[in-house]
Amino acid sequence: MPSAMVGIIYKRHHKPARLEAEKLSAWFEKRNIRVFSEEMMAAETVQGCEDGASIIPTNVNWVVVLGGDGTLLAAARRVGRFGAPILGVNLGGLGFLTGIPLGRLYPVIEMMIDDRLVTECHGMLETQVIRNAETMCRFPVLNDVVINKGTLARIIDLNVTINDEFLTTFRADGLIIATPTGSTAYNLSAGGPVLYPTMEATILTPICPFTLANRPIIIPDSHRIQLAMGKESEEAVLLTFDGQVGFNLDYGDRVHIHKSKEKIRLLRPPDHNYFRVLRDKLLWGGGPRNS
């Protein structure tokens, strides 16, 4: 009988990822490890708040993701939030979350089986949309929750309340509410700060604010956030989860965001260094210059 179980999630419609998943499945099976393999699309933007169920059991020992950060985000929400540690292998683009290059896959997999990898716990946010006193939507995210407008060039007013205390009205193209893990995603593009991914904080970053005084703010992740449109919009306003699942907001909706009880466990080699990753991915240079 197999002594352990592993889930392999690979990027959809990506032949190299599928071929690597097949190769890795055979490698695990030779070692008497039961394999559950699934093709997963990184971006599945739909109206509603259902992410779809995974065929991978929630009690697998490990999950190996072959793809980019988008594939890992989907895997984290569907499987990882139930406790299975995730190893992200980069077959995509920038790859902050999928930090293992394909060339190191098998040595790192050996370390995973031998329990020689480091586990990082990353916090998640949970979002609820309340409409006429009814919960219309409940959704967990690892990276961010984003409210933005449609295609017309009009700003939206967003009233922000923290722990039942009114903070301000952001007049902007939208607002990003990001975890430290998501600080290097849309938040970074919008001028928000980079946070160490295991910090316990939440970032609010306005998108192209109308007023220069509207700046990003960092709050403890224990604080509860409530958002509402300050006035009715003539165009669609969309709530997006991890850039992958969308929900259309109506005027009068209340968006409640708070720290999730669930965490994502990401596996890293002992030699993994986040600051080296930042230097490499953001092209910060190789080191100090001698005067």
End-to-end CA gap in the chain: 63
Which residues on adjacent β-strands are paired with residue 127? 139, 257
HEC per residue, the chain: CCCEEEEEEEECCCHHHHHHHHHHHHHHHHCCEEEEEEEECCCCCCECCCCCCCCCCCCCCEEEEEECHHHHHHHHHHCHHHCCCEEEEECCCCCCCCCEEHHHHHHHHHHHHCCCCEEEEEEEEEEEEEECCEEEEEEEECCEEEEEECCCCCCEEEEEEECCEEEEEEEECEEEEECCHHHHCHHHHCCCCCCCCCCCEEEEEEECCCCCCCCCEEEECCCCEEEEECCCCCCCEEEEECCCEEEEECCCCEEEEEEEEEEEEEEECCCCCHHHHHHHHHCCCCCCCCC
Q: How far is CA 133 from CA 67, 106, 137, 247, 256, in A?
A: 40, 51, 12, 17, 12
69 is catalytic: yes
Of these residues, 69, 144, 221, 253, which one is catalytic? 69
Residue 151 near residue 178, CB atoms below 8 Å: no
Residues serving a catalytic function are 69
